[in-house]
Amino acid sequence: SQQGEEDPQALSIQEGENATMNCSYKTSINNLQWYRQNSGRGLVHLILIRSNEREKHSGRLRVTLDTSKKSSSLLITASRAADTASYFCATAGSQGNLIFGKGTKLSVKP
Partner 1 sequence: NAGVTQTPKFQVLKTGQSMTLQCAQDMNHEYMSWYRQDPGMGLRLIHYSVGAGITDQGEVPNGYNVSRSTTEDFPLRLLSAAPSQTSVYFCASSPGNQPQHFGDGTRLSIL
What is the contact surface with partner 1 in residues (CB under 8 A)?
1-2, 33, 40-45, 48, 88, 92-93, 95-98, 100-103
Q: Report the distance separating Cα 28 and Cα 44, nearest Å.
A: 24
- Closest distance between partner 1 and the C-beta of residue 12, in Å? 19
Q: How many residues belong to the chain?
A: 110
The three-state (H, E, C) secondary structure of 2-21, written as one string = CCCEEECCEEEEECCCCEEE
- Closest distance between partner 1 and the C-beta of residue 96, in Å? 5
Q: Which amino acid is at 74?
A: L
- Closest distance between partner 1 and the C-beta of residue 44, in Å? 7
Q: Which one, 2 or 12, has the nearer CB to partner 1?
A: 2
Beta bridge partners of 31: 50
Q: Which one, 68 or 97, has the nearer CB to partner 1?
A: 97
β-strand pairing of 19-24 with 71-76: antiparallel
Q: Which one, 42 or 59, has the nearer CB to partner 1?
A: 42
Q: Which one, 15 or 98, has the nearer CB to partner 1?
A: 98
